[in-house]
Amino acid sequence: MPKALSETETEAFRARICQAAARLFVEEGPAAVTMRRLAIELGCGTMTPYRYYGSKDEIITAIRARGMQRLSEALENALDTPGDGRTRSRNVRDAYIGFARSDTATYRLMFEYPETNLNDPAYRQAHARMWRTMAADTQVMIDEGIIEADAPILGHQIWASLHGAMMLEIAGLLPTGFDAASLHSRTFAALMEAYRPSPRKNKPSA
Taking only the tens place, the pLDDT of each residue in 63-97 is 999 999 999 999 999 999 999 999 999 999 999 99
Q: Measured in Å, how far apart are the chain's first and last C-alpha atoms?
A: 89
> Which among 35, 25, 22 is positioned nearest to 65, based on CA atoms?
22
What is the Cα–Cα distance from 179 to 98, expressed in whole angstroms? 12
Mean pLDDT value of segment 104-129 = 89
Query: Cβ–Cβ contacts within 10 Å for residue 107, how many?
Result: 22
**For the residues of the chain, what is the DSSP string, one character each?**
-PPPPPHHHHHHHHHHHHHHHHHHHHHH-GGG--HHHHHHHHTS-TTGGGGT-SSHHHHHHHHHHHHHHHHHHHHHHHHSSSS-HHHHHHHHHHHHHHHHHHTHHHHHHHHH---S-TT-HHHHHHHHHHHHHHHHHHHHHHHTTS--S-HHHHHHHHHHHHHHHHHHHHHT-SPTT--HHHHHHHHHHHHHHHTSPPPPPPPPP-
CATH 2.30.30 correct for 1-54: no
Contact 92, 75 (CB under 8 A): yes
Q: Which CATH number fits domain 63-194: 1.10.730.10, 1.10.230.10, 1.10.357.10, 3.40.50.300?
A: 1.10.357.10
What is the Cα–Cα distance from 156 to 163, expressed in whole angstroms? 10
Q: Which amino acid belongs to residue 153?
A: I
pTM of the entire predicted model: 0.89
Question: What's the pLDDT score for residue 206?
Answer: 47
Q: Domain ranges for the chain, please list them.
A: 1-54, 63-194
**Window from 113-117, 142-146, 157-161, 195-199 with minimum mean pLDDT:** 113-117
What is the Cα–Cα distance from 192 to 176, expressed in whole angstroms? 25
In angstroms, the Cα distances linking 110 to 35, 40, 123 are 20, 24, 11
> Which among 63, 69, 67 is positioned nearest to 24, based on CA atoms?
63
pLDDT in tens, 31-45: 999 999 999 999 999
- Give percent above pLDDT 90 in the chain: 84
